[in-house]
Amino acid sequence: MAEAPPDDCRPLKYSIHKFSTFSSNYVPENILEDKPSNQGSRWSSDSNNPPQSWGSTFNFSIWHVALGGFDEWTMVQKCINWYTTYREREAIRLCLKHFRQHNYTEAFESLEKRTRVTLEDPRLTRLHKMLVEQGDFDGCEQLIGEAAEEYKPQWTPIIPNPGGSSGPPPRPGMRGGHQMCIDTNTQGSRQLFILAGQRIKEYLTDFFMYNIDTDTVTYISDGTRKDSSSVPAAGFTQKATIDPHLNQIHVLSY
């Protein structure tokens, strides 16, 4: 997919290209201006289009429409190129679907080989071949059974960074009852936050962040410094969740 734009979008100018109907002076161009206190600054349809109106005195109306985004050509060009490639690929897939439905085998294989575009997942292609072309019902049942199998986890050990001459960097250490939440929306990195917990009879208030992609640990707070007022109280009964839109971590202790 095209590269995601930064978060600081700005208002974009636009014009009305086409519209359905309007009544009296309530023309479509009125939605370009944001005047919520002006009753005339709106686009209203004819009284019977659509037939249902809003309220007793207004037809179907729109007061204002604002667009936000980016108009730098370097960014827009990437999106246009991605969309053009995507549209061409989907058109080829529709042709492949049509050829296979009508049993145009040579055309299907030729187009697929020439464009290197696949119609679907290889397992679906295999299922179609066994069911439609070969009539192998036993093989189809076996294939569906394999697809229904649960995923098997694959564990990979995380080797701590030994550090330099100053010794190993701080680590959360052994504990239980701690809370963790992961942030996958940060561009270029996946961050795992570790909070509090209990070690033997000690209740912990420390706060760590582990970067999965760079394999680094950041010591955010030990819970005893001057910023301890912004860290939740010690314990092992917290519940933590992360809000990716507000970029905030919410912790509930009970």
Contact 183, 190 (CB under 8 A): yes
pLDDT band at 230 (very low <50, low <70, confident <90, very high): low
Which is higher by pLDDT, 76 or 161? 76
Q: Residue 216: beta bridge partners?
A: 211
Q: Which domains are assigned to the chain?
A: 8-70 (2.60.120.260), 73-147 (no CATH), 179-252 (no CATH)
Residue 104 has pLDDT above 50, yes or no: yes
Nearest Cα residue to 60 out of 69, 50, 73, 70: 50
Q: What is the pLDDT of residue 89?
A: 95
Which is higher by pLDDT, 221 or 80? 80
Q: What is the amino acid identity at position 31?
A: I
Q: What is the pLDDT of residue 48?
A: 56
Q: What is the pLDDT of residue 232?
A: 66
Instruction: Give percent above pLDDT 90 in the chain.
Output: 26
pLDDT band at 53 (very low <50, low <70, confident <90, very high): very low
Residue 200 has pLDDT above 70, yes or no: yes
Question: For residues 233 and 78, what is the distance between their CA atoms, to the nearest angstrom?
Answer: 48
Instruction: Give the 3-state secondary structure of 195-243.
Output: EEEEECCEEEEEEEEEECCCCEEEEEECCCCHHHHHCCCCECCCEEEEE
Which is higher by pLDDT, 225 or 160? 160
Which is higher by pLDDT, 136 or 147? 136
**Quick one: CA torsion of 23, 27, 32, 38, rounded to 10 degrees?**
-60
Q: What is the pLDDT of residue 198?
A: 83
Contact 60, 52 (CB under 8 A): yes
Show Cβ contacts of residue 81 under 8 Å, excluding neighbours closer than 6 positions: 2
Question: Rounded to a whole number, what is the distance in angstroms from the first to the last CA of the chain?
Answer: 43
| Three-class SS state of 67 | strand
Q: What is the pLDDT of residue 127?
A: 93
Q: Residue 167: beta bridge partners?
A: 164
Instruction: Give percent above pLDDT 70 in the chain.
Output: 81
Would the pTM count as exceeding 0.75?
Answer: no
pLDDT (average), residues 125-135: 91
